[in-house]
């Protein structure tokens, strides 16, 4: 499943995953629930049991499933969208709880439906307009 890290920054400092245009997104194969290893400072401190100064964890997780509009009862590959937050060790010692949200989105393209409704609305308006004109003509001809 492709993983989208919303607050990812590439080597140039750009944030391609924060844009709404998903064609520029950088996708990943892996994600983590919490990370204490990358916050260890100093060369070789991990092997010596160094203590992490920063802990990273997901602030929000969204599982997005989109229905395939061409093939009935089929879906596109689901996406896991994660936004990470990092906290220093001093903040974690004073605040032991943090808010994490998980949402599940199910979406489908409704453009064909709304196009059909628009056509139906126009046809019905024309039909009722013809009936109205006929009623006015009949009304005007009766003494």
Q: Decide: pTM greater than 0.75.
A: no
pLDDT tens-place string over residues 43-77: 665 556 667 778 888 999 999 998 887 887 888 88
Q: Are residues 97 and 116 in the same domain?
A: no
Q: Are residues 97 and 120 in the same domain?
A: no
pLDDT tens-place string over residues 98-127: 788 999 999 888 888 889 999 999 999 999
Domains of the chain: total: 2
Q: Are residues 95 and 65 in the same domain?
A: yes
What is the extent of the structural domain holding 70?
3-109
User: How would DSSP label each residue in 80-105?
Assistant: EEEEEEEEEHHHHHH------EEEEE
Q: Which SS3 state, helix, strand or coil, does residue 30 take? A: coil
CB-based burial of residue 82 (10 Å sphere; 0-12 exposed, 13-18 middle, 19+ buried)? buried
Q: Are residues 43 and 77 in the same domain?
A: yes
């Amino acid at each position: 499943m492709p993983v989208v890290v919303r607050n990812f920054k590439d080597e140039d400092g750009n944030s391609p995953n924060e844009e709404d245009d998903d064609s520029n997104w950088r996708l990943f194969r892996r994600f983590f629930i919490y990370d204490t290893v990358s916050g260890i400072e100093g060369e070789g401190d991990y092997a010596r049991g160094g203590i992490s100064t920063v802990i990273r964890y997901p602030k929000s997780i969204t599982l997005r499933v989109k229905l395939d509009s061409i093939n009935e009862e089929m879906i596109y590959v689901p996406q896991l969208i994660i936004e990470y937050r990092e906290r220093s060790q001093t903040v974690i010692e004073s605040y032991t709880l943090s808010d994490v949200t998980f949402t599940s989105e199910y979406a489908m393209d409704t453009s064909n439906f709304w196009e059909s409704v628009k056509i139906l609305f126009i046809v019905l308006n024309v039909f009722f307009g013809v009936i109205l004109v006929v009623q006015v003509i009949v009304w005007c001809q009766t003494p």
